[in-house]
Structure 1
Amino acid sequence: MVASRALRIGVEYAFTQLGWTRVEARVPADDPLGLRAASIAGLRREGIARAPRGEVEQVLLARVVDDPPAFSRDGFVAILNAGLPRKRVIGQGVLRDRDGRVLLCELTYKGEWDLPGGVVEVGESPATGLVRELEEELGITVTIDGLVTMNWLPPWSRWDDACLFVFDLGVVDADLVDQMVLQRSEIAAVHWCDLETVREKATLATTELLESLADAPLPAYREAPQQPD
């Protein structure tokens, strides 16, 4: 493409002759040819510059001076990887007491109670993320006994869709909650809950999951119902 070649020449001139260390471009999100030209020229997608309603958002792309050559394997992989969709990943755990009740967290930032866990960090496995979250938020170290299911969560309210990995954390004595040190900025309290309490307090996705789990082992993959706004 002529456009991508011209852009590539311009970027190299900025680096070699002008001494720049970074070149940015903003391309309208509804301009696929422009986005393709920028990618072929070696610019990596970095994010979206939001716009007011009725205006077109801008895709931010950039290249820095020590990026690998665009047509090398490393350069191609980096550009392709930067442009691929990203999906939020969550790790949660089912922890039961000896009466069969499930531990739910009363959260400070939403009204519904939920299973313990949280968002997995970049480069972190779902299992490792769950263990870390419980150490940070509850002050306990758990052992993962296996995967219960992977639940796809559809978009809800202002949240994008997500993949939720639900792990079995086994059975413990109910007084474990007395040893917990809660991260008060996120966890207001923890509760051992039977199914009736789950139905009353938990999110629709958590309620549906725990009701299904009470009847039979869950399939490896599921899709959660749409949560009402």
Structure 2
Amino acid sequence: MTPIPSHGPGGGGSRRGSLGDVTDEALRDGELSLEPTSGSAEFHGFAVLIDEERVGTVALRPDGRREGSIRWNLGDHGSFAASRALRLGIQHAFTELGWERVWAQVDVDDTTDLRSASLAGLRREGVTRRSGAPDRVLVGRLIDDPPALSREGFVSILNAGLPRKRVIAQGLLRDEHDRVLLCELTYKREWDLPGGVIEVGESPGTGLVRELHEELGITVDLGALVTMNWLPPWREWDDACLFVFDLGRIDAATVEDMELQRTEIAGVHWCDLEAARAHATGATVELLEALEAGELPAYREAPLQPE
């Protein structure tokens, strides 16, 4: 474990934090204990003992703002022992050092240390990038977080670490000539159906209505779900679940009155299938071709697209 710059100051005074069954007495949790080995204004080191045998180390490094980093090394003694040692170290930081936040960084591929941190009550907060080295997961714990071994604490830690799938909602908007509206985008050369990425806590339908109002200046009536299309990773984009809704028909001249969000939308175009093949993303063309060929299944997977 390697300390990193802190993310913002803590605040308030010292309070006692709760970390499950860990006791404050002598930094001990059953047969496992922490024994101070060094201490200064810049560093607090501990030996980790199991049945009085030294098995590793834990270190706390304050940053002067009521928070600091925690590092650990327990070799091959596993996540459970490491998490118990970490809980003791975090408890000491909160109750004796007056910290209000403890954080650490773990290499993204170090599953043992990531599990240790999670079991100790450190929540996933994000990923920091490094040039020429593995990215690192930033984890942290606040003094007033629920106890790590409580139901509320467990759910909070689990939720923070679960994958978050990108969700996109797009709409099939047609004119009186059965052409489909495609958007010419500022950030990629291919055209695409109107819509966009759904925000956290937002439903796909609500997000689609919002996107069209923001980007095209129109209010649409949400129709039936046409299909849910899984998009594999493409270029710099991660994979995503794409909800495609029927938005009905409007007069072709309506585009003349649209108020385009010029930072993202360079133009809008009514396209038949031939025009779509010439300009649209591969996934959009494949979807429109499948739609013309017949009814789409409720769930489908788009093929891999060329780079």
Q: TM-score range by the shorter chain?
A: over 0.9
C-alpha deviations, 1:198-222, integer Å up to 9, x for none?
A: 0101000000001111121110111
Q: Structure 2 regions of 5+ residues with no counterpart?
A: 1-79
Q: RMSD over aligned Cα, in angstroms?
A: 1.0
Structure 2 partner of 1:31: 110
The one of 90, 95, 100 equivalent to 1:11 is 90
Structure 1 partner of 2:207: 129
1:1-229 matches, within 5 Å, as: 1-53=80-132, 55-229=133-307
TM-score by length of 2: 0.73
Q: Secondary structure at the match of 2:131?
A: coil
TM-score by length of 1: 0.97
Q: Secondary structure at the match of 1:5?
A: helix
**What is the one-letter code of the residue matched to 2:215?**
E
**What is the one-letter code of the residue matched to 1:45?**
R
Give 1:56 shift: 2.4
Paired with 2:137 and 2:267, the residues of 1 have a C-alpha distance of 41
Paired with 1:30 and 1:135, the residues of 2 have a C-alpha distance of 41
C-alpha deviations, 1:68-110, integer Å up to 9, x for none?
A: 1111111101101111111111010000011100000011111
C-alpha deviations, 1:157-178, integer Å up to 9, x for none?
A: 1111111111000111112112
- Give the helix-richer structure, 1 or 2: 1
Paired with 2:293 and 2:189, the residues of 1 have a C-alpha distance of 27
Paired with 1:57 and 1:99, the residues of 2 have a C-alpha distance of 51
Larger Rg: 2
Paired with 2:291 and 2:256, the residues of 1 have a C-alpha distance of 27
**What is the one-letter code of the residue matched to 2:128?**
A
Paired with 2:138 and 2:203, the residues of 1 have a C-alpha distance of 28
Give 1:17 shift: 1.9
Q: Structure 1 regions of 5+ residues with no counterpart?
A: none
Paired with 1:107 and 1:130, the residues of 2 have a C-alpha distance of 16
Aligned residues: 228
Paired with 1:28 and 1:97, the residues of 2 have a C-alpha distance of 52
Give 1:64 shift: 1.0
